[in-house]
Chains A and B, each alone.
Chain A
């Protein structure tokens, strides 16, 4: 079965991203397909590679990046939500005259249409938020 995942909360301030990650991992282990993981609102904060949590804590962004690499996942960050919160890839940084980008490996920035498409293409859309 094809799943779409929506994450509406950032890491460490709420359990939503952890639960979404564990759900996604379990679905892949069961042989399901993850059509897309869409990060919206504060959920875009999952997509910065500049986070440095303590060594004995989980690194949520890194967990997503590693899962994406292993399973070729499509991790999409909402562009409008990302710009407000300073999540930039190289193109966006250049467009807005910023001196660097911080998007984590495996994540890409795109529009809300990607969420709509996930809702249409996936058999189930599962929402994780606060």
Chain B
């Protein structure tokens, strides 16, 4: 049972990233969308937490939402894969179910 978790809030605004990482099972994936893309950037206070979680879950970030916020790919943490909306659709199809952390 691999679950896809989408997070659409900045980790500096709400605790949805923390809630997700606390409750998600190993082997699932996290897709950062909308303001959630800030969790994917280098040098923030949550960067170590996200990097540590990569050992047990895969991380993705939605490219168009990065671009809309002026975040270029070189600012994204190593190990996070950038996807477009088509990639978002593929991730939903590849996982057994989707949990939106709103």
Contact = CB atoms under 8 A, between A and B. Distances in A.
Interface string A100-130: 0000000000000000000000001111111
Q: Majority SS of interface residues in chain B?
A: helix
A1 B84 CA distance: 19
B89 A27 contact: yes
Given A22-B64, A23-B85, A124-B98, A32 B93 contact: yes
Interface residues of A, number: 21
Interface string A9-35: 000000110010011011101101000
Q: Chain A interface secondary structure, helix, strand, loop or mixed?
A: mixed
B86 A30 contact: yes
A3 interface: yes
A125 B4 CA distance: 12
A118 to B, nearest CB: 14
Interface of B: 8, 33-34, 64-65, 84-86, 88-90, 92-93, 97-98, 100, 102
Interface of A: 1, 3, 8, 15-16, 19, 22-23, 25-27, 29-30, 32, 124-130
